[in-house]
Amino acid sequence: MIPINVHRVWLSLLSLLVIHELRLIKDSYHIKEELFLSLLTENLGIIMYFVITFLPSDSPLSKIGNNLFVLIGFLFSHIYSCVLPLIRTYFVNNQKAESLTYNKEAFERALKDKETFKLLKELAIKHFEVENIIYYEQYQKLRAAQSMEEKLSKTLHLDNAVNSKKQVQDIFKRFIFQDAPYELNLPSGIMKKAIELNNYEGIELVAKEVYSMLYLNTFRLLVHKKD
């Protein structure tokens, strides 16, 4: 009787299930891509394991051994998902950190540069301040949307204020109102005033405080993290 490891069968089936589910997922951090390639490679290694198991003992592949392909699959998965991202992050972070100085001009550039903004977000996550960077990101999108609406209103004489009001209320519900999913940890006076205003002016009031916190805390850490 040919020995079959049941756990390898289950692992292969579960990998195929995850690969199938990943088809419908979209993400901006390329996690889907990493998972897909890792699981696919591991699965190919497991398939080769079973293929070699059923081959005659005098087959050239049988002499290599069936565990080798499984090992190659897991090694590839580990290198692709863990080692390469660490190496890439190390070099990118060093390049960005070396080019940064702690001043308002550099901070403004960091907020506009996608790569540096991503580093700020990663640092905010590590220091449990992610709600600040997400809020400011949403605030920037709101400003851009309002600017676009103003241009359209002047050009086409359309009133698009409804869209802005909806975005404003969404931001209040997500970040400012009590027990919001990403409730900001700001001075109570500012939060109370913003809630009383409950409009774009309130969002700007909060954004100024968040901007200050990002500059004094997160950006400072990014610039001086090598110290």
For residue 130, the domain's CATH number is 1.10.167.10
pLDDT tens string 92-132: 555 555 556 888 888 888 888 888 888 888 888 888 888 99
Question: How does residue 204 score in pLDDT terms, banded at 50, 70 and 90?
Answer: very high
Sign of the alpha-carbon torsion through 90, 92, 93, 96: positive
Amino acid at 137: E
Say yes or no: 89 and 139 in one domain. Answer: no
Is the distance from CB of 187 to CB of 209 less than 8 angstroms? yes
Say yes or no: 86 and 111 in one domain. Answer: no
Say yes or no: 119 and 94 in one domain. Answer: no
pLDDT tens string 2-57: 445 666 667 667 777 776 676 666 655 556 677 777 777 777 777 777 777 777 77
pLDDT tens string 152-186: 665 555 455 556 788 889 999 999 998 899 899 89
Report pTM.
0.53
Amino acid at 33: E
Q: Would you list the DSSP string of 37-100?
A: HHHHHHHHHHHHHHHHHHS-TTSHHHHH-THHHHHHHHHHHHIIIIIHHHHHHHHHHHHHHHH-
Say yes or no: 93 and 133 in one domain. Answer: no
pLDDT tens string 209-227: 999 999 998 898 888 774 4
Say yes or no: 112 and 220 in one domain. Answer: yes
User: What's the pLDDT score for residue 210?
Assistant: 94
Please indicate, yes or no, if residue 43 is contained in any of the structural domains.
Answer: yes
Please indicate, yes or no, if residue 184 is contained in any of the structural domains.
Answer: yes
Question: How does residue 81 score in pLDDT terms, banded at 50, 70 and 90?
Answer: confident
Say yes or no: 124 and 210 in one domain. Answer: yes
Q: Would you list the DSSP string of 2-37?
A: ----HHHHHHHHHHHHHHHHHTT---SS-HHHHHHH
Report angle CA 109, 112, 117 to the nearest 5 degrees: 95
Say yes or no: 200 and 114 in one domain. Answer: yes
Distance CA 106, CA 86 (A): 26
Please indicate, yes or no, if residue 1 is contained in any of the structural domains.
Answer: no
What residues contact 117, with CB distance under 8 A and at least 6 apart? 110, 111, 133, 137
Say yes or no: 217 and 182 in one domain. Answer: yes
Say yes or no: 148 and 177 in one domain. Answer: yes
Say yes or no: 116 and 75 in one domain. Answer: no
Total structural domains in the chain?
Answer: 2
Lookup: tokens for 126: 């590590």
Domain termination residue (choose one: 99, 122, 152):
99
User: What's the pLDDT score for residue 1?
Assistant: 37
Please indicate, yes or no, if residue 39 is contained in any of the structural domains.
Answer: yes
Say yes or no: 137 and 190 in one domain. Answer: yes
Please indicate, yes or no, if residue 119 is contained in any of the structural domains.
Answer: yes
Domain termination residue (choose one: 77, 99, 121):
99
Domain termination residue (choose one: 76, 99, 122):
99
Say yes or no: 95 and 118 in one domain. Answer: no
Domain that holds residue 94: 6-99
Please indicate, yes or no, if residue 218 is contained in any of the structural domains.
Answer: yes
